[in-house]
């Protein structure tokens, strides 16, 4: 199936990101403007008020399971001073926007098509909330909540999200948590070994990632090797100790898993 999303993602990869627009100077100008009128007049072209999610020149995060495209202060400077941003998720079959938070925004998510499962925990003590959004339905992720979205279907699915910050930010839970000092992570997890921490870190796929075994099996999709470019950068404070070798884990993509209990 040459799906919409396949064509779409190919067009992103094949086109524009290498030539991503640098809006830094324009954003500085807009932020320095004395009034909102000045800001409007600092954007002389009508096209500066259009962001094309299906042909973006910036703001794209891609993994093996799809993409999230974000129109924010960097990719769409017309939002400067307006406190709003918008994201579109293109989730391939079983594609999962991995658990994350937005440090500066509440998100309201509208499901365009497909069935998109969402899950959320708002804070310590808050119960887990899960939805299976049908086309035309929406949900809300309060600022700071941990949430995820997964396409439960075997066709691509689309969602649209409004965010009440022009710079909502995103914090991917697995990448950031495993990016803390390895002895801190090991102790937090009940004293697993540093080798295990290193091994787990090495596995974390970029978002949008391939989702659950159940979905992949139902849709007849083989789990493939996924890019891992979103892991936390190591500096001296969170460095892996020298002379320690990461544990290796079964990654599940050499052969289709047959049970829900994997070796890790
Ligand atoms: C973007 O442009 C600004 C100056 O307007 C410059 O300081 C910055 O380094 C540029 N960033 C990139 C990634 O080229
Ligand atoms: C959702 O819309 C996209 C774009 O038109 C299309 O490729 C995809 O197949 C649709 N998914 C479903 C489940 O209808």
Domain boundary among the residues 171, 200, 234 is at: 171
Residue 152 CA to residue 130 CA, distance in Å, equals: 13
CATH number of the domain to which 42 belongs: 2.60.120.10
Residue 236 CA to residue 3 CA, distance in Å, equals: 44
Residue 122 CA to residue 145 CA, distance in Å, equals: 4
Domain check: are 134 and 193 in the same one? Answer: no
Domain check: are 31 and 141 in the same one? Answer: yes
When the pLDDT of each residue in the chain is averaged and rounded to a whole number, the result is 90
Q: Which domain holds residue 183?
A: 174-251
How many angstroms is it from 195 CA to the middle of ligand 2?
A: 42
In a domain, 147, yes or no: yes
Residue 42 CA to residue 249 CA, distance in Å, equals: 54
Name the residue with tokens 């495993």: 178
In a domain, 65, yes or no: yes
Instruction: Answer yes or no: is pLDDT of 19 > 80.
Output: no
How many angstroms is it from 80 CA to the middle of ligand 2?
A: 32
Domain check: are 35 and 127 in the same one? Answer: yes
Domain check: are 167 and 189 in the same one? Answer: no
Domain boundary among the residues 132, 151, 171 is at: 171
Domain check: are 125 and 196 in the same one? Answer: no
How many angstroms is it from 98 CA to the middle of ligand 2?
A: 21
Domain check: are 166 and 152 in the same one? Answer: yes
CB hemisphere CA count around 90 (13 angstroms): 22
Q: What is the pLDDT of residue 249?
A: 80
- Pick the atom of ligand 2 nearest to 5's CA: 7
Three-state DSSP at 177 gives: helix
Pocket test for ligand 1, best of 17, 20, 21, 24 (most atoms within 8 A of CB): 24
Domain check: are 67 and 34 in the same one? Answer: yes
In a domain, 263, yes or no: no
- Predicted confidence (pLDDT) per residue in 239-250, tens digit: 999 999 999 886
Domain boundary among the residues 154, 171, 188 is at: 171
- Predicted confidence (pLDDT) per residue in 174-187, tens digit: 999 999 999 999 99
Instruction: Answer yes or no: is pLDDT of 82 > 70.
Output: yes
Domain check: are 184 and 163 in the same one? Answer: no
In a domain, 256, yes or no: no
The share of the chain scoring above pLDDT 90, in percent, equals 84
Residues forming a β-bridge with 87: 70, 161
- Predicted confidence (pLDDT) per residue in 93-127, tens digit: 999 999 999 999 999 999 999 999 999 999 999 99
In a domain, 264, yes or no: no
| Nearest listed ligand to the Cα of residue 6 | 2
In a domain, 257, yes or no: no
Counting the structural domains of the chain, the total is: 2
Q: What is the pLDDT of residue 260?
A: 40
Residues forming a β-bridge with 113: 158
């Amino acid at each position: 199936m040459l799906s919409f999303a396949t064509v779409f993602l190919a067009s992103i990869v094949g086109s524009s990101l290498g030539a991503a627009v640098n809006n830094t100077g324009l954003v500085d100008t807009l932020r320095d403007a004395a009034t909102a009128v000045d800001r409007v007049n600092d954007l002389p072209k009508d096209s500066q008020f259009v962001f094309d999610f299906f042909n973006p020149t910036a703001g794209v995060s891609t993994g093996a399971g799809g993409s999230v495209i974000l129109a924010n202060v960097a990719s769409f400077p017309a939002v400067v001073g307006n406190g709003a941003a918008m994201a579109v998720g293109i989730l391939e079959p079983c594609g999962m926007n991995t658990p994350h938070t937005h440090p500066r925004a509440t998100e309201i998510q509208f499901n365009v098509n497909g069935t998109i499962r969402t899950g959320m925990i708002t804070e310590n003590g808050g119960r887990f909330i899960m939805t299976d959004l049908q086309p035309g339905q929406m949900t809300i992720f309060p600022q700071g909540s941990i949430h995820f979205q997964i396409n439960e279907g075997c066709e691509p699915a689309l969602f649209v999200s409004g965010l009440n910050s022009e710079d909502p930010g995103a914090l991917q839970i697995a990448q950031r948590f495993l990016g803390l000092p390895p002895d801190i992570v090991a102790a937090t997890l009940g004293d697993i070994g540093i080798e295990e921490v290193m091994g787990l870190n090495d596995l974390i796929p970029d978002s949008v990632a391939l989702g659950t075994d159940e979905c992949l099996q139902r849709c007849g999709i083989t789990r493939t090797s996924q890019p891992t470019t979103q892991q936390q950068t190591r500096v001296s404070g969170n460095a892996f100790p020298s002379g320690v070798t990461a544990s290796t884990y079964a990654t599940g993509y050499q052969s289709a898993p047959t049970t829900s209990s994997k070796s890790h």
